[in-house]
Amino acid sequence: MKNIVRIIGGGLAGTEAAWQLARRGVAVELFEMRPQRMTEAHAGRNLGELVCSNSLRSDLLSAPAGLLKAEMRRLDSLIIRCADQHRVPAGSALAVDRDDFSRALTETVEQLAGVRVFREEVRAIPNEGILIIATGPLTSPALSEDLMARLGEEHLYFYDVISPIVTAESIDMSVAFRASRYDKGGDDYLNLPLSREEYNAFVDALIAAERVPTHTFERFVPFEGCMPIEEMADRGKDTLSFGPMRAVGLHDPRTGKRPYAVVQLRQENREKTLYNLVGFQTKMTYGSQRRVFALIPGLAGAEFVRLGSLHRNTFINAPLHLTPTLQWRRRETLFFAGQMTGVEGYIEAAATGLLAGINAAKLLGGEPTVTPPATTALGALLRYITDPERKRF
């Protein structure tokens, strides 16, 4: 077996796999199609670009995401290392300056001994050698077709949506106040309070707003953890006040009272010049976004550096095709990692890349591949996505 592992995809999973392999003395060829071929969601050429939120979720050990991160730190995860180095204030969550994070990740991987990065599209899966497919939910059409032919079925899919980002100088700071819910994490979030009347007017505008249509032959299947805010509003007028706009644990210092609802903004970069609207992912048209979000107190003159958008994410039927070691059941030298395996979230994607990298190195060295115990966060995650008894995925 050739003493090299090829990785297709330079996202969080692919870069983590490359790091784990390089640490074990394995030569790596990492293929990333950007910037030669861009996706509908990526904006730059850096590896590990975060296209949705800049938050890697809770860092508390009492939370599943926090426990998974703790396990990854013990396994010397590159993604967690870079995130810790480029974190920005976000209460008990681990949020990063997305540009600094992906830049550091790119520089580290490109400078790794034994790792070569190729900026080119791979249109078909090589039939020989050890390979890790980590092309993510925005896999190119050509490679996606090749995968469908090999797997013998169409990919599953869901739609993912992105929240807007505004400049700090365009936020009316006479309206905003700084605080985290229940004072956890200090004053890391900006909060824009709404009265009942303002909330009702905002929800009415959301429900009536024009939305980006999906293809007539496709069913709109949103990722429940990233539901468009207008879709949540459709479920009931009070839904948002119990969801991303809930005001529990917050008090407006000007009134000393809890607002009826709030819009929270999270710092995007270290310079505090950009903020994203937390939980405000949307598939409204651009014109509707500008009009509807201007109804939020404090955002009447908001300058948007990024508006919300919609893209389709694809993934494979992991319980049918993958072993708990992330190997294809029909070819042990072919590993899958990242969101393509059906995991949800940045950390989960990186964690599968970590394990795929470790197991690819073991396979190359003639050692048995490993599966973490189901009592660990990583083991439980793998068991969930690869359980062959799972009827629905």
pLDDT tens for each residue of 143-152: 988 998 888 8
pLDDT tens for each residue of 26-48: 999 999 998 888 776 677 789 99
- Residues β-bridged to residue 304: 166
pLDDT of residue 39: 75
Strands 261-267 and 156-162: unpaired
> Would you say 321 and 155 are in contact if contact means Cβ atoms under 8 Å apart?
no
Domain residues for the domain of 293 are 161-312
Integer angstrom CA distances of residue 224 from 12, 56, 221: 21, 17, 9
pLDDT of residue 178: 93
pLDDT-above-90 percentage for the chain: 75
- From CA 99, how far away is CA 48, in angstroms rounded? 10
Q: Is residue 306 part of a domain?
A: yes
pLDDT of residue 138: 82
Find the CATH number of the domain harbouring 209. 2.40.30.260
Q: Do 342 and 307 reside in the same domain of the chain?
A: no
pLDDT tens for each residue of 286-319: 999 999 999 999 999 999 999 998 777 778 899 9
- From CA 124, how far away is CA 145, in angstroms rounded? 9
Q: Do 97 and 203 reside in the same domain of the chain?
A: no
Q: Is residue 392 part of a domain?
A: no
Find the CATH number of the domain harbouring 362. 3.50.50.60
Q: Do 63 and 105 reside in the same domain of the chain?
A: yes
Q: Do 320 and 348 reside in the same domain of the chain?
A: yes
Q: Do 193 and 294 reside in the same domain of the chain?
A: yes
- From CA 337, how far away is CA 392, in angstroms rounded? 20
pLDDT tens for each residue of 73-85: 999 999 999 999 9
Q: Do 65 and 83 reside in the same domain of the chain?
A: yes
> Which position has the higher pLDDT, 3 or 123?
123
Q: Is residue 347 part of a domain?
A: yes
Average pLDDT, the chain: 91
pLDDT of residue 218: 46
Q: Is residue 37 part of a domain?
A: yes
> Would you place residue 19 in the very low, low, confident or very high pLDDT band (cuts 50, 70, 90)?
very high
- From CA 316, how far away is CA 297, in angstroms rounded? 43
Q: Do 167 and 279 reside in the same domain of the chain?
A: yes
Q: Do 166 and 223 reside in the same domain of the chain?
A: yes
pLDDT of residue 17: 99
**Of 256, 290, 312, which marks where a domain is finished?**
312
Q: What is the largest CA-CA distance in the chain?
A: 70
Q: Do 91 and 170 reside in the same domain of the chain?
A: no
- From CA 324, how far away is CA 313, in angstroms rounded? 22
> Would you place residue 209 in the very low, low, confident or very high pLDDT band (cuts 50, 70, 90)?
very high
Q: What is the pTM of this model?
A: 0.80
Residues 6+ apart with CB under 8 A from 307: 164, 286, 289, 290
Q: Is residue 260 part of a domain?
A: yes
- From CA 188, how far away is CA 230, in angstroms rounded? 26
Q: Do 95 and 184 reside in the same domain of the chain?
A: no
Q: Do 227 and 289 reside in the same domain of the chain?
A: yes
- From CA 391, how far away is CA 94, in angstroms rounded? 34
Compute φ and ψ for 305, nearest 5 degrees: -90, -15
Q: Is residue 391 part of a domain?
A: no
> Would you place residue 20 in the very low, low, confident or very high pLDDT band (cuts 50, 70, 90)?
very high
**Of 312, 344, 365, which marks where a domain is finished?**
312
CB atoms under 10 Å from CB of 112, counted, come to 18
Mean pLDDT, residues 112-141: 94
pLDDT of residue 67: 98
**Of 312, 341, 374, which marks where a domain is finished?**
312
Q: Do 101 and 143 reside in the same domain of the chain?
A: yes
Q: Is residue 247 part of a domain?
A: yes
- The number of domains in the chain is 2
Q: Is residue 393 part of a domain?
A: no
